Structure 1
């Protein structure tokens, strides 16, 4: 039978959700309440599916997003999510059809990049995506960390207070926006994000567990940090506490707030371990601990993937700490962003223009995505055979332009 790829209708939403959940091995009961919540999450999104004989066999969703580039400018992004193919319809090119149509439409709209968080590593490179940020999770053994057990709050006049979900929904959006505009790799959050992550909207039914929330305020009362965390109840037979505080998310706009929130979590009575959740690889942890070895890495993985749709706009949007020029030959099998470009960059601005000059470097558009936020090394990609030096020394020169002192980070899963 032929398979039709198209936007879904409202009446097809329940079938689309069931196919998505099947693909992600979820068995969420689709009650009237959960269906209403799931519909709310789809508002404003571009929701597509593949249909065979009227039955949904693949799902795809994209939505508008803002992504922060190096230096703090934001670019419009096509955020891709909810990608699933029914196990009965794999290897039929359905994802390729859905992705090709979505990226072409994003290019026409003027989106500079497309973004996603990849469930599987090997899928998205063939569509021009590359891993642009990474994430790390630590587990802190509080008993070994060497922290002062008498700590009772920030020493700089700031304070930490427990708050409820309603207050988080009031304080969180502005705090996150301030963080996002200062953090390369961060993406915009919708009001729905705050509703879901504080339990006001429950798309997965009764699986919600109410967490604790703590806010950090500076000495002058400004909100500089928020954390959401959960705890378990675990004791030894000898009545010694072995409880764990698991961080759902922690955001801050100052190093002082970040340090204070981690110190707070490690000071809670009966907490023997802290699981940090997904953090930037160069997070202040574990070096803020007197004994950094008390924090062991439990996850180290790729996170935000990018697909460059407009090379000129992308390279001109970010800032550069050095001065120099490089000619890049970008190979794009999809024909969306390929060509030869001269990047002429300096701390006071940059220009990127199509050129006929000889290329200094030749690379795939997926590798440009890995380099754009400053995390990856051109020289390392050249050593891997993924970037070809057309001029000796060009890789090191490009690294001087593109790499950044701090690593990009995306706090969000979408």
Structure 2
């Protein structure tokens, strides 16, 4: 609901201008209320939530649209690091808390906030912007493209074919149950190791570990203490962890029908990944395992003697990327082969437009502006989908989203850009 305004005439509607600005300390309670309204959270905004928000937001990167005194749209960004193909990280502008109150849609408020934020990100030197899109159609018009996808499986343990009485292949490691204190000690270093090998991952702050191990409990996120399992290699090094919760469901015939829902599973070796999935699928009383969002080419289904026991329940876009600096983005990643590609990048609303010559080799890549003939013409959002190696230029060409200026250029692009394993972002933000 919009704020009330006085009227000089009963039949005259007074339309005020809407001010888009960084939030002040005094604005924050109404900004938090607007976020909760936009995300359909009906509970009242608490002092604890406002205090928690104020502890980590950056006011200059927290925008609100104000109709009079009332906040009617919200937007926030924060500093992030994103892993490119090959393991290098690039500075990213992570976008979150985007909402527009239903009474103020179609007034260009998101466009104004996005333009202001992306301009600031470019000035800071951020190479890309990132977000997790609640709705698919919104962000393409701002140059974002889906760069990773996520798949969730539900495993029927009773038909998976894993025999808990038969020992797993001896790889010298072991799975141990630990507590949250142990996860806070070993988890951050493990995740840093993952970030060095997994394209699409983002950094995790100390606050992330506190929230996800229950040290910091939020009013808006009810807490259930999970189970924590770690995989240790033969030398004791932690190479994987799984965090999961279980329900308490029994049949009328007094048979256990419990579900283990995975909240987080990361591993830096294949042995750790295999051992943790085997463990989860062999817990007494658990007849179903929900995987949580995984890379679409996760090993889980094929790890099972009967892969059909793993049913896909969700498959959707996950991390969206917006290229801000074409040169740094293309030079930061590695490539599957050696070659040259000239890209005509169309970016009407941003800084990435131009013609760019990519020269890729095993020892690195260079990207420079060029006036030479383009091999491919594509929008910046398609470049984002190709950058992490997940999408196919051949498929985008078939859809009319990439135009070949040279016959066979899309196939050449795939030979350079695509990766042997798909990128994956384990986190929501």
Q: Is the structural similarity TM-score above 0.5?
A: yes
Residues 151-160 or 71-80, more deviating: 151-160
Higher radius of gyration, 1 or 2: 2
Alpha-carbon distance change, 196 to 29 in structure 1, aligned in 2, over 3 angstroms: farther
- TM-score, normalised on structure 1? 0.97
1:385 corresponds to 2:400: yes
Structure 2 CA distance for aligned equivalents of residues 324 and 413 of structure 1: 35
Select 2:244's aligned residue among 229, 233, 238: 229
**Equivalent pair of 1:136/1:280 in contact (CA under 8 Å):** yes
Match of 2:177 in 1: 162
In the TM superposition, what are the counterparts of 1:180-329 in structure 2 within 5 Å? 180-205=195-220, 207-329=222-344
User: What is the match of residue 140 of structure 2?
Assistant: 125
Q: Identify if the C-alpha distance between structure 1 residues 62 and 205 changes in structure 2 by more than 3 Å, giving closer, same or farther.
A: closer
The answer to whether the Cα contact below 8 Å between 1:21 and 1:27 also exists between their aligned partners in 2 is: yes
CA deviations over 1:40-72 (Å, ceiling 9, x no partner): 342588211111112111110100000000001
Tell me the secondary structure at the aligned position of residue 197 of structure 2. coil
TM-score (normalizing by structure 2): 0.94
- What residue number does 2:6 align with? none
Structure 1 residues 339-390: Cα deviation after superposition (integer angstroms, max 9, x where no partner): 0011111111111100000111100000000000011000110000000111
Aligned to 2:57: 42
Counterpart-to-counterpart distance in 1, 2:230 and 2:44: 34
1:29 CA drift (Å):
3.9
**Are 1:12 and 2:15 an aligned pair?**
no
SS of 1:187's equivalent in the other structure is: coil
Structure 1 residues 173-195: Cα deviation after superposition (integer angstroms, max 9, x where no partner): 11111101110011111111111
Residue 205 of structure 1: CA displacement?
A: 4.9
Q: Identify the range of structure 1 (19-28 vs 69-78) with the bigger mean alpha-carbon deviation.
A: 19-28
In the alignment, the residues of structure 2 paired with residue 323 and residue 169 of structure 1 have an alpha-carbon distance, to the nearest angstrom, of: 42
Q: Determine if the alignment matches structure 1 residue 331 to structure 2 residue 346.
A: yes
Shift of 1:11: 2.0
What SS does the aligned partner of 2:175 have?
strand
**Which of 66, 77, 83 does residue 51 from structure 1 map onto?**
66
- Which stretch of structure 1 is more off in the superposition, 4-13 or 201-210? 201-210
* Aligned mates of 2:26, 2:416 — CA distance in 1: 51
Per the alignment, do residues 275 and 11 of structure 1 end up closer, same or farther by CA in structure 2, a change over 3 Å counting? same
How far apart are the structure 2 equivalents of 1:186 and 1:210?
25
Q: Residue 401 of structure 1: SS of its match in structure 2?
A: helix
CA contact (8 A) 1:70 1:319 kept: yes
Query: 261-270 or 199-208: which moved more?
Result: 199-208
Counterpart position of 1:171: 186
> Matched residues in 2 for 1:347 and 1:220: separation?
33
* Alpha-carbon contact 1:227-1:261 (below 8 Å) kept: yes
CA distance in structure 1 between the aligned counterparts of 2:25 and 2:231, rounded to whole angstroms: 43
- Deviation by residue 1:213-268 (Cα, 9 ceiling, x = unmatched): 11111110001111111111111111111110000111111111111111111111
Q: Is contact 2:324-2:350 (8 Å) kept?
A: no
Distance, in Å, in 2 between the alignment partners of 1:254 and 1:45 is 40
Number of residue pairs the alignment of both structures matches? 414
Which whole-Å CA distance do the structure 2 matches of 1:42 and 1:265 have between them? 36
Q: In the aligned structure 2, how far is the partner of 1:350 from the partner of 1:43?
A: 35
8 Å contact from structure 2 (residues 240, 273) kept in 1: yes
Does the 8 Å CA contact 1:117/1:305 hold for their aligned counterparts? yes
Distance 1:56 1:43 in 2: 18
Provide the C-alpha distance between the structure 2 equivalents of 1:92 and 1:44, rounded to a whole number of angstroms: 24
Between the aligned partners of 2:60 and 2:418, the Cα distance in structure 1 is 33
Matched residue SS, 2:218: coil
Q: Any unmatched runs of 5+ in structure 2?
A: 1-15
Q: Distance in 1 between matches of 2:166 and 2:20?
A: 59
Checking the alignment, whether the CA contact within 8 Å between 2:148 and 2:318 is kept in structure 1 is yes
Shift of 1:411: 0.4
Show structure 1 runs of 5+ residues with no match. none
Residue 343 of structure 1 is matched in structure 2 by: 358
